[in-house]
Chain A
Amino acid sequence: MNATLPRVLLGATGRPLTLGEHSSTFDAPLRTSSMFEELEASGLTGRGGGAFPTARKVALLRNQRGHGKVMVVNAMEGEPEAHKDRTLLSTNPHLVLDGAECLAMMIGAKTVAVCVPRDNQTVVHYLKRAIYERSLRTHKGPTFELHAAPWRYVAGEESALVHWLNDNQSLPQYRASKTHVLRVGRGPVLVDNAETCAHVGLIARYGAAWFRELGTDASPGSTLVSLTGAVDRPKVLEVSLGTRLAAILEAGRADPHPQALLTAGYGGTWLAGHHLDLPYANESLGPVGAMVGTGVLVVLPRSGCGLLETKRVVDWMANESARQCGPCAFGLPALAEDLTHLLHARGDGVGVLARLVERCGVIEGRGACRHPDGVVRMVRSALSVFAEDIDRHARGTMCDGARADEHWVTVPSIVHENELVWQ
């Protein structure tokens, strides 16, 4: 197999490939030995947002003792703008399950728990069928369990997911140290994003050298990009990491001269439109404050208002807080309120802006999960990218984009106080 795209989306026909079709599309047999060495050499990083090296995570779990280890496939995709995982699962579900099987084998887990949001019944059915097909094979791998968790922004956070598997509550947990190993019952848990699993499934077939043919040295391979905003229709593209942003926009038939891009989704950062020559990889986006994250790109055209979009996103994110930690439960609504004031400022805008900046500093780093930090990061990047526009708003002149009230970021409607979800 050569170094062409698509890789994980190979064989996309608009319906999920059956196991038979899957094994003829990806015809190389799965590697059974030295899988871990191959994964380490590939340099695969997690595609769920953290970009943490997968091999290191696996190594941590390998060294854990204990029976009943669980491999968790995280396809929760709490990000409203992201639809890469559900696209992947409705195209190549078996590739994801192959990767999960490999990872389970590497850490010595007998169970694979696949977590999908329960509001998307189509994907749940696709996965049910895929798991049934696998149960008919003569070769028995690990047991697959399908878990349909409620869809919330924080439900996809790994500690929330493990909490849900343990006692049916999608709430993040407090972890005293960073290396704390999450457990379901007594078994240590490895949580990996669905796209990461699909890449593992490919590395297990074609090897690390093949995987590194695409991408840059620091971030090899390809990645899925959910492109929304000012595009002809929202779509998922598979691009090689290190592709220029302008080329991605062109391939997705998006507005070629946007005002800004929202990278990495609601917890990500705004990137000013003049950075389009940058390669799409963490090491080159990092210096300008952006990142690949969950692979979301929202295109904001010149006619839009960055402050309005930021306000709408923060409104929704404030409501999505699990309301466990004070700084998040009270701080995020306060940020949303400040942004609303700023949007409709009547002379008092400069004071509100100062308070907003101060509140950002107060909230950062004080939640159990990274939810408030993501919002703070997004607000801060908006303050620097849209500085001129926000300054005008603060002085009391609304821009045309805000007056037209056009929306480019698709924020779901807010369901108030619909929290605390059970099985």
Chain B
Amino acid sequence: MAVRPKAGGFILRVDPILCDGFGHCHELAPELVQIDEWGYPIIKAAPTPLSDANALESARFAVRGCPRQALRIERTAGSN
């Protein structure tokens, strides 16, 4: 059976109040998270397609690796 490509995308979201700028998310998901000059994450704002398995996996790593548990993955029902 052929694997159906997953529709929709995801965005990594951070709770800015919980975030203390450990920077683990940047280490774990460099393609999604940049770090500003104070060490806080700048997250890619555009949704990433769910079919991008590598990005999704690193996003999951980032969510699990966050010491403050400030990250989560939000599904978007976008066209990509």
Binding site for B on A (CB under 8 A): 172-174, 176, 324-328, 330-331, 334, 362, 366-368
Contacts and interface: CB of A to CB of B under 8 A. Distances in A.
B17 A327 contact: no
A326 B40 contact: yes
B24 interface: no
A366 B16 contact: yes
A172 to B, nearest CB: 8
A326 B39 contact: yes
B38 A327 contact: yes
Contact of A325 (B13, B16, B37, B42): B16
Nearest to A331: B38
Given A326-B39, A331-B38, A362-B36, A176 B13 contact: yes
A206 B8 CA distance: 50
9 contacts: A173-B17, A174-B16, A325-B16, A326-B16, A326-B20, A326-B21, A330-B40, A331-B36, A331-B38
Q: Which 7 pairs between the two chains have the least Cβ-Cβ distance?
A: A326-B40, A325-B16, A330-B38, A324-B17, A174-B15, A174-B17, A368-B17
A367 B36 contact: no
Task: Say what secondary structure dominates the interface of chain A.
Answer: loop
Contacts of B40: 325-327, 330, 366
A328 B42 CA distance: 13
SS of B interface (majority):
loop
Contact of A367 (B16, B18, B37, B42): B16
B19 interface: yes
Contacts of B17: 172-174, 324-325, 368
Given A326-B19, A326-B21, A362 B42 contact: yes
Interface in B1-32: 13, 15-21
Q: Pick the most buried of A176, A326, A331, A367: most chain B CB atoms within 10 A of its CB.
A: A326
Contacts of B18: 174
Contacts of A176: 13, 15
B38 A326 contact: yes
A176 B27 CA distance: 24
Contacts of A328: 16
Contacts of A324: 16-17
Nearest to A359: B37
A247 to B, nearest CB: 42
A325 B38 contact: no
A326 B25 CA distance: 15
A334 B40 CA distance: 14
Contact of A368 (B16, B36, B37): B16
A376 to B, nearest CB: 14
Contacts of B37: 334, 362
A145 B47 CA distance: 45
B19 A325 contact: yes
B18 to A, nearest CB: 8
A362 B21 CA distance: 15
A209 B42 CA distance: 49
Contacts of B15: 174, 176, 368
Contacts of B21: 326
Interface string B59-78: 00000000000000000000
Given A324-B17, A325-B19, 8 more contacts: A174-B18, A325-B17, A326-B16, A326-B21, A327-B40, A334-B37, A362-B36, A368-B15
Given A362-B36, A362-B42, A366-B42, A327 B13 contact: no
B6 to A, nearest CB: 23
Contacts of B19: 325-326
A172 B20 CA distance: 16
Nearest to B21: A326
